[in-house]
Amino acid sequence: MATKSENGRGIGGGDRTAKAIVADQSSQAVNSTANLLHLMRQSSSSQALAQLPQVISSLDAHIESGLNSGVHLNTVTQLLENMESTQLRALRQSNISPVDNQSPEPI
Whether 19 and 32 have beta carbons less than 8 Å apart is answered as: no
pTM metric for this prediction: 0.37
* φ/ψ of residue 8, rounded to 5: 90, 10
- pLDDT tens-digit series, residues 35-77: 878 877 887 878 878 888 888 888 888 788 777 777 777 787 8
Q: Is 8 strand, coil or helix?
A: coil
Please return the burial class of 25, using the count of CB atoms within 10 Å of its CB with bins 0-12, 13-18 and 19+: buried
Q: Can you give the pLDDT at residue 1?
A: 40
Residues in contact with 58: Cβ distance below 8 Å, sequence separation at least 6, in sequence order: 32
* CA dist., res. 57 & res. 27, Å (int): 16
